[in-house]
Amino acid sequence: MIAPHLYFSNAVGSVLFVPKAFAYLHFSGESMTSQELRALYVHAANLLARYQLYGILADHRAMPAAFEVADRQWLLTEWLPNTIPTPPPIVRYAVLPQDDPARRLHTDHVLHQLRELVHAATFTDLEQAAAWLHSEGQAHDQPPTI
């Protein structure tokens, strides 16, 4: 993976910029407040828009807990639809999920909702996720689940 540049950071995590490729959200493992969590995603949206990026790598492996229901709803019904420009390009969303199912955000239900707006795939390896985001996608791509 190309060396990322720090774009934004708070107690919840960091938004990193991988030039000409994607936004990388990395969670710190610290307790999450709704305000800090949403700030992380708002800055990620700003980064995507500023550099016209169409890839998001969300590394949730260090998340201390799953998002609260209100934050999950905000992410899926407000943040993501407002982050994707019109007309919608092919946006790829790679996820490195938390190993503990009780602390996992990306359940089958959440992934199904994500896939209504973006090409979403889960990975166990950072390099594989980055490679998938770097690859040229076509509208008929079927994202892998690894």
Backbone angles phi, psi at 108, to 5 degrees: -55, -40
> What integer pLDDT is reported at residue 28 of this predicted model?
94
* pLDDT 10s digits, 81-114: 898 877 667 889 898 888 877 766 666 777 788 8
- Retrieve residue 88's tokens: 């919608």
Domain parsing of the chain, residue ranges: 5-134
Q: What angle do CA 23, 25, 29 make, to 5 degrees?
A: 170
Q: What are phi and psi of 121, to 5 degrees?
A: -145, 150
DSSP 103: G
Residue 59 has pLDDT above 80, yes or no: yes
Task: Say whether pLDDT at 139 is over 50.
Answer: no
Higher pLDDT pick, 7 / 109: 7
Query: CA-to-CA distance for 61 and 96, rounded, in angstroms?
Result: 6
Give the Cα-Cα-Cα angle 2, 26, 57 (nearest 5 degrees): 60
**pTM, entire model:** 0.76
